Structure formats: C-alpha cells, structure tokens
C-alpha cells in the first residue's frame, strides 16, 4: 500500500482516486477544488483533504493533476523531497521542466489517464515506465509503456479522436431516434454496436482491425457504402490532418521528418 497525494482535485484526479480508493492506500488530495475534494472525502472516509504542501509532505507518490500553467505557478511554491515519485498527468508539460519544478525529486513519469478509468481496463500510456505507477494502477488499467517522450506525446494527440468519434455516435443516434422517438435508446444502441467491436479489438487475442474492417466491408453493403461516402468527402483525411495539426503544441516533429 502506498501514501499517495493528488495535487489539484478536478475531473481527472477524481477519476484516478475513484479507481484506486478501495485498494487500501493512504490518500490525501488538495483542498482545492473544495466541492470535488469534499465529495471524495464523503465517499471515501479514510481520504484526507489538505493544503498543497501537506499533500506533498504526506505522500510517497505525488500525482500532479493541475493544468500545466497553474502548475508552473504553484509548484515553485512547494518543497519536494528527493525520494518521492512524481506522476504527472498534465498535457503540455515536458519531463525536463517537471524535473526543474519538482527538484530534487528525480523519479518522474508522465501518464495519460482517462475519465472512465474507474470502470477498469482503460488504457494508461506512460513514459518512462514506472514501477510504482504499475503497482498502484496496473490492476485497474492497461498500461501502455512508451519508449520515448515523443511517443507519449503522440498518445496524448491520439486521445483527441475521442470527441470526433462521439460526435459520430451522436449524429447516428439522432438519425436513428427520428424513427424510434427514443434518443436515449438510440444512443445506447449505436454506442453498444461500437463498443462491441471495440471490445473485440482490445482483447489480448482479439481479431485485428484489418480483419474486422474486411468483415464489415462487403462490396455495396451498408457499412461499405457509408464508409466510402465519408472517405470520398474527405472526412478521414480531415481526421488525419487534424491529428497532424496537434503536432506543434505537443512538441512532435513536423510530418515527414
Ligand atoms: N480531464 C481529462 O480527461 C484529462 C485526461 C488526461 C490528462 N488530463 C490533464 O489533467 C490535468 C487536470 O485536468 P482536469 O480535466 O482534471 O482539470 P480540472 O477539472 O480543471 O482540474 C484542475 C484542478 O486544479 C485545481 N487548482 C487550480 N489551482 C490550484 C492550486 N493552486 N492548487 C491546487 N489545485 C488547484 C482546480 O480547482 P478550481 O476548480 O477551484 O480552479 C481544479 O480542481 C490537466 O493538465 C490535463 O491536461 C486531463
């Protein structure tokens, strides 16, 4: 069991705490945000709320769940000790900068949790790989250890496809509900279809993407007709161009380098 502190009690800190709260760890979270931290304390009676410096002092593992610009202002006000593990989940905060902000702590990694994490089994990309992160979150998430910071930042970019994919479910559910009159049922139906295929894809010995696409791609079939329409009007190329547009802010090399 570990002593774990969360700096910044917002959406992602709440999801991470909910994921591990029943595992017997000693958890302390920032008092701010007051509503979120008080909700967590009410739900998990052993959990403590504290000022930021106390969160750091009373933890062996400090999870940085602040917005990057807030962290740049707040971390210089805090004192870290050398033996602590720092797990940052902040987009746009390079490891070298974290090293300066959290000195003398040197065991630092960056991870990409997702809000559905408490459901279990969501991907958790990390760089560099970290034993303590695996001990704490390994049973609750699929760890994707990245080989470089660039690779990790590409994983950050890939999370940007979530809203575009949900947008497509939204359009399909709206379209379906025009016939059924039940928007909620339509959304669950379409999400269930997509979810079933995603489950197959994410299983250890699951069917691979090419096989699934081939299975759905019967010439002239419903799926192939729609897929071709999206490809022909540039939707898929737009998605790829959109991912490329995220390169600069995530310090990824320009395309074709
Ligand atoms: N949400 C996601 O899906 C997700 C996924 C992966 C990574 N991340 C990363 O996680 C970080 C946090 O994102 P989030 O979505 O959880 O944002 P959020 O909900 O806005 O949480 C940030 C929290 O920091 C608090 N805060 C602000 N100033 C503070 C200070 N000086 N001391 C302590 N706490 C302070 C805020 O409190 P107030 O509300 O009172 O200002 C807020 O509760 C970001 O860097 C983001 O890149 C987020």
Q: What is the mean pLDDT of residues 185-209?
A: 92
Residue 154 within any structural domain of the chain: no
Q: Which CATH number belongs to the domain containing residue 129 in this structure?
A: 3.40.50.720
- Cα 68 to averaged position of ligand 1 atoms, centre (Å): 9
User: Are 111 and 25 members of one domain?
Assistant: yes
Say yes or no to pLDDT of 204 above 80: no
- How many domains is the chain partitioned into structurally? 2
For position 1, what pLDDT does the model report? 86
CA dist., res. 242 & res. 82, Å (int): 40
Among 6, 7, 8, 73, name the best residue to mutate to test ligand 1's pocket (greatest count of ligand atoms within 8 A of Cβ). 8
Q: Are residues 168 and 242 in the same domain?
A: yes
Q: Which atom of ligand 1 is nearest to the CA of 156?
A: 6
Res 244: pLDDT: 98
Better-scored residue on pLDDT, 257 or 194 = 194
In a domain? residue 214: yes
Q: Residue 203: what pLDDT?
A: 85
- Residue 5 Cβ inside 6 Å of ligand 1? The answer reads no
The answer to whether residue 152 sits within a structural domain is no
- Is residue 86 included in any domain, yes or no? yes
Q: Whose CA is nearest to atom 26 of ligand 1?
A: 8
* Domain end call among 147, 178, 200: 147
Q: Are residues 45 and 95 both part of a single domain?
A: yes
Per residue, the 3-state secondary structure of the chain, as one string, reads CCEEEEECCCHHHHHHHHHHHHHCCEEEEECCCHHHHHHHHHHCCCCEEECHHHHHHCCCEEEECCCHHHHHHHHHHCCCCCCCEEEECCCCCCHHHHHHHCCCCCEEEEEECCCCHHHCCEEEEEECCCHHHHHHHCCCEEEEECCCHHHHHHHHHHHHHHHHHHHHHHHHHHHHHHHHCCHHHHHHHHHHHHHHHHHHHHCCCCCCHHHHHHHHCCCCCHHHHHHHHHHHCCHHHHHHHHHHHCCHHHCCCCCCC
Tokens 């002593």 belong to 3
In angstroms, rounded to a whole number, what is the distance separating the alpha carbons of residues 192 and 61? 37
Mean pLDDT in residue range 7-14: 98
206 and 134 housed in the same domain: no
52-103 residue pLDDT tens: 999 999 999 999 999 999 999 999 999 998 899 999 999 999 999 999 999 9
Mean pLDDT of the chain: 96
Would residue 29 count as lying in a domain? yes
51: closest CA among 74, 67, 69?
74
Name the pTM for this structure.
0.94
In terms of domains, do 171 and 240 share one? yes
Q: Establish whether residue 98 lines the binding site of ligand 1, counting it when its CB lies within 6 angstroms of any ligand atom.
A: no
Tokens (6 digits) for 54: 């106390």
Instruction: Evaluate if residue 257 carries a pLDDT over 60.
Output: no
Instruction: Please compute the mean of the pLDDT values over residues 219-236 and round it to a whole number.
Output: 97
Out of 7, 11, 93, give the residue to mutate to test ligand 1, the one with the largest number of ligand atoms within 8 Å of its CB: 11
Ligand 1 atom 7: residue of nearest CA: 89
Can you give the residue range of the structural domain that contains 218?
161-250
What pLDDT was estimated at residue 210?
94
């Amino acid at each position: 069991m570990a002593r774990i502190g969360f700096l910044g009690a917002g959406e992602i800190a709440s999801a991470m705490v909910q994921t591990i709260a029943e595992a017997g760890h000693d958890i302390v979270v920032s008092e701010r945000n007051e509503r979120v931290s008080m909700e967590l304390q009410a739900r998990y009676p052993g959990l403590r709320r504290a000022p930021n410096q106390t969160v750091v002092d009373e933890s062996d593992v400090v999870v940085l769940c602040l917005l990057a610009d807030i962290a740049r202002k707040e971390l210089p006000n805090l004192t870290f000790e050398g033996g602590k593990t720092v797990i940052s989940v902040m987009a746009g905060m390079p490891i070298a900068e974290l090293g300066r902000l959290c000195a003398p702590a040197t065991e630092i990694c960056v991870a990409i949790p997702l809000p559905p994490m408490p459901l279990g089994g969501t991907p958790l990309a990390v760089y560099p790989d970290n034993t303590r992160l695996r001990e704490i979150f390994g049973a609750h998430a699929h760890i994707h250890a990245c080989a470089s910071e660039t690779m990790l930042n590409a994983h950050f970019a890939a999370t940007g496809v979530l809203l575009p994919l949900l947008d497509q479910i939204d359009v399909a559910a709206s379209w379906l509900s025009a016939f059924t009159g039940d928007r909620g049922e339509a959304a669950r139906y379409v999400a269930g279809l997509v979810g079933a295929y995603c489950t197959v894809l994410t299983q250890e010995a699951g069917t691979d993407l090419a096989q699934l696409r081939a299975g759905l791609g019967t010439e002239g079939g419903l799926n192939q007709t729609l897929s071709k329409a999206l490809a022909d009007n540039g939707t898929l190329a737009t998605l790829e161009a959109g991912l490329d547009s995220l390169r600069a802010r995530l310090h990824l090399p320009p395309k074709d380098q």
